[in-house]
Amino acid sequence: MLRFAGTIAALTVAACATTASADQWADKMFKERTVDFGAVPRAAKIEHEFLITNPYKEDIHIASVRSSCGCTQPRVLTEVIKPGETGKILAAFNTRAFTGQRGATVTVTIDRPQWAEVQLQVRGYIRTDVVLTPNYVNFGSISEGATGDKKIFINYAGRSDWKITGVQSNSPYVTADVKEIKREGGRVSYELDVKLADNAPKGYLNDELTLLTNDRRATKFPVKVEGRIVPELAVSPAALLLGSVQPGQEVTKQIVVRAAEPFKIVDIRCSEQGFTCQPSDEAKAVHLVPVKFTVPNKPGKVECKIEIITDRDGQQSTTVPLTCEISAPLAGT
């Protein structure tokens, strides 16, 4: 009986060691596993992205995420993380439905290349005396080289001497000024004027402002800043790579052309024969352009450029490279 009990204990220790080992290889992929939002306004947009970097030679697959508390809503932003690449898990603090000190354990489940679980910690204090309107700064889509200006309002109810003493930005492209606009008893309102510089780089803007106060219990709170700086004329995909094709084959692809403001496509040109595509007379901010290419009968590599000409600023244009390798005709054809 004692020998049997000893065997069970040894197996239990081995199983625990295996589980710990599995967690350790997965833990190494996370740059951080804890975030403390501090004191945040009621109903504010409060989020954090946990970064996952894959240092291994196999793909990592995130099967699921779950939270121990409804105060935190996790979401997988990158399901498959290839070797050397970085993925993201988003943790959103539910500041609308919850108040006070809150915390949650977010469990990330990995099922490939082997099973493992990693636990992330999220916590913060959701205060009821500060409300933002709207709940974050959203610049939307802005053309590259343009400036942006947004205002939000901060309302406080509590101490009669409460003040916002300053504002800090962690981005060189985002600046802000805050001014008091109303004070009555224990209620005070401020206007936050946020500006985006014209040299902000293209891509997604995901930054944060920090408002400083004279409140010793919560000396600061965050304000999220988002937006998207788009090139004057953007095209996707950046190149049409058709790969290996057969002579006479018809290949159809779609090009997306977008800008911050509506525009027309007045002409589409390509030096290669067999290319067909129709311009659009309709002014839209996003155009879906179908491209049909009839492959020449001559084997070899084809390299050409599709030029898309618009009515923006004196017929502004963009080009999309097209490449393919034409195989030799099949025997008997």
Residue 208 bridge partners (DSSP): 224
Same domain, 169 and 77: no
pLDDT cut 70: percent of the chain above it: 92
Same domain, 120 and 6: yes
Same domain, 104 and 141: no
What is residue 140's predicted lDDT score, i.e. its pLDDT? 92
Residue type, 6: G
> What is the span of the domain harbouring residue 61?
2-127
Return d(Cα 137, Cα 41) in angstroms, integer.
14
Does residue 132 contact residue 151 with C-beta atoms inside 8 Å?
no
Same domain, 223 and 141: yes
Interacting residues of 109 by C-beta distance below 8 A, sequence separation 6+: 62, 63, 64, 65, 66, 115, 116, 117
CA distances from 261 to 68, 258, 287 (A): 44, 8, 12
pLDDT of 304 above 90: no
Task: Check residue 44 and report its DSSP letter.
Answer: -
- Our count of domains for the chain comes to 3
Return d(Cα 241, Cα 291) in angstroms, integer.
13
> Among 269, 277, 281, 265, which residue's Cα sits nearest to residue 315?
265
Neighbours of 321 (CB within 10 A): 13
Residue type, 183: R
Residue given tokens 């350790």 in the structure block: 24
What is residue 332's predicted lDDT score, i.e. its pLDDT? 54
Return d(Cα 246, Cα 294) in angstroms, integer.
10
Same domain, 279 and 207: no
Q: Which of 20-29, 61-70, 91-100, 264-273 has the lowest mean pLDDT?
A: 20-29
- Final residue of a domain: which of 168, 201, 230? 230
pLDDT, tens only, 42-55: 999 999 999 999 99
Strand 187-196 with 148-157, pairing: antiparallel
- Final residue of a domain: which of 230, 262, 286? 230
Return d(Cα 79, Cα 68) in angstroms, integer.
21
What is residue 250's predicted lDDT score, i.e. its pLDDT? 87
268 found inside a domain:
yes
Return d(Cα 46, Cα 165) in angstroms, integer.
22
Which tops the pLDDT comparison, 328 or 203? 203
Same domain, 305 and 238: yes
pLDDT, tens only, 12-32: 433 443 444 447 899 999 999
pLDDT, tens only, 183-199: 998 999 999 999 999 99
Same domain, 13 and 122: yes
pTM over 0.75, yes/no: no
Instruction: Give me the CATH number covering residue 145.
Output: 2.60.40.10
Strand 137-143 with 220-230, pairing: parallel
DSSP for 208-219 reads: EEEEEES-SS--
Cα three-residue angle 175-149-133, rounded to 5 degrees: 90
Same domain, 280 and 255: yes
What is residue 22's predicted lDDT score, i.e. its pLDDT? 47
- Banded model confidence at residue 58, pLDDT cuts 50, 70, 90: very high
54 found inside a domain:
yes
For residue 216, what are its two tokens? Answer: 């010793």
Average pLDDT over residues 293-301: 84
Which tops the pLDDT comparison, 260 or 240? 240
What is residue 141's predicted lDDT score, i.e. its pLDDT? 85
202 found inside a domain:
yes
Return d(Cα 66, Cα 151) in angstroms, integer.
35
331 found inside a domain:
no
pLDDT of 176 above 90: yes
- Final residue of a domain: which of 90, 105, 127? 127
183 found inside a domain:
yes
94 phi and psi angles, rounded to 5 deg: -85, 85
333 found inside a domain:
no
Same domain, 119 and 149: no
What is residue 144's predicted lDDT score, i.e. its pLDDT? 82
Residue type, 7: T
Q: What is the CA radius of gyration of the chain?
A: 28
Same domain, 118 and 26: yes
Same domain, 27 and 103: yes
> Among 227, 302, 240, which residue's Cα sits nearest to residue 271?
302
CA distances from 29 to 25, 67, 69, 112 (A): 7, 20, 24, 14
Strand 250-270 with 234-236, pairing: antiparallel
What is residue 231's predicted lDDT score, i.e. its pLDDT? 77
- Banded model confidence at residue 219, pLDDT cuts 50, 70, 90: very high
Same domain, 100 and 183: no
What is residue 5's predicted lDDT score, i.e. its pLDDT? 44
Residue 209 bridge partners (DSSP): 169, 223
240 found inside a domain:
yes
238 found inside a domain:
yes
Return d(Cα 297, Cα 302) in angstroms, integer.
11
